[in-house]
Amino acid sequence: MKMARTAPFVVCVLYLLVVFFCNAVAGEMPVAYQATDDVVYGHKDGLALTLDVVEPVENRKGIGLILVSSGSWVSRKSDILQEEEDRRQNDHWLQGLLKGGFTVFVVRHGSGPRYTVPEMTPDINRSVRFVRANAAKYSVDPNRLGITSGSSGGHLSLMAAMTGDDGKLDSKDPIERVSSQVQAVVAWFPPTDMINWGAPNGYKLIPLLRPGLFERMFGEITDLEAQLKSISPLYLVTKDSPPLLLIHGDADRTVPLQQSEIMKAKYEEQGAKVKLVVEPGGGHSSWAGIMDDYPPVWDWFDENLK
């Protein structure tokens, strides 16, 4: 496949998928999509921060969703085009949203170990500002933006949603003057309280299970409890926090269901809109029939991004 060389920093590829066998996503045909690759939404230490714009060819709603690309707080993308095609066709994260008619902005953040977890949230905030500033270009409503992802991506989605602002009006950068607020969130099995991990003060057991994790998250440990609290979305919830749908398996051994349960309780305490869907027997990252959990996701974004 030849890649266009005319655009300064994007590669536009139109995938009209005609497949004669069942796809790995719930045995269904993948959604036909148009992708604009590697759009630069900012820079960090001389490195480009990039996102991909993936639009369904049919039934597009004009609603934009930020999909945070993150696993263990690391963003990845293959330089091999076929590998990216295969992932887009088979990955439930993207296909599930495309099937709902949403325009998806797959955002990559500065990753560990070069960047610490606290340094990642501003990247996601920046991506929201960029998408909103360029909403007309991508035919989405700037007043209707949602955010979603799972695990560490779910955590960063929540952190971005809880820290969104109206824009930095005194900034010389026009993108930074744009609002970074999102209007709805869907978080799959997200870490929400790094201190009370599974139980009160449960963080004390984490070094026994995952040695060196805190050092990878923060670089230098100065005041661990304060550092953990600073990246825990639970402590940032207010009555004005955007509507939140949580999805979590009750057999998740990586992020305990308790993390979503306490986030739901905190939302309810503040009087903010929240719902928790628990998948019986569901583990981490995926489970059999996970695409069956997407209709509630579509409904949530449709309802809250009218």
For residue range 242-279, list pLDDT tens digits in order: 999 999 999 999 999 999 999 999 999 999 999 999 99
pLDDT tens-digit series, residues 141-181: 999 999 999 999 999 999 999 999 999 999 999 999 999 99
DSSP track, the chain: -PPP-SSSS-EEEEE----SS--TTTT-PPPPEEEEEEEEEEEETTEEEEEEEEEESSS--S-EEEEEE-BTTB----S-HHHHHHHHHH-HHHHHHHHTT-EEEEEE---TTTS-GGGTHHHHHHHHHHHHHTTTTTT--TT-EEEEEETHHHHHHHHHHHH--S--TT-SSTGGGS----SEEEEES----SSSSSSTTGGGGHHHHSTTHHHHHHSS-SSHHHHHHHT-GGGG--TTSPPEEEEEETT-SSS-THHHHHHHHHHHHHT--EEEEEETT--SS--TTGGGGHHHHHHHHHHH--
Please give the pLDDT value at position 19: 32
Please give the pLDDT value at position 13: 35
- How does the average pLDDT of the chain come out, rounded? 91
Please give the pLDDT value at position 17: 33
Please give the pLDDT value at position 188: 98
> Between residues 200 and 28, which one has the greater pLDDT?
200
Q: Percentage of the chain surpassing pLDDT 90?
A: 87
Which architecture, in CATH terms, is 11-194+231-304? 3-Layer(aba) Sandwich (3.40)
Residue ranges per structural domain of the chain: 11-194+231-304
Please give the pLDDT value at position 112: 87
pTM, 2 dp: 0.90
| Mean of pLDDT values over 14-35 | 56
Please give the pLDDT value at position 29: 86
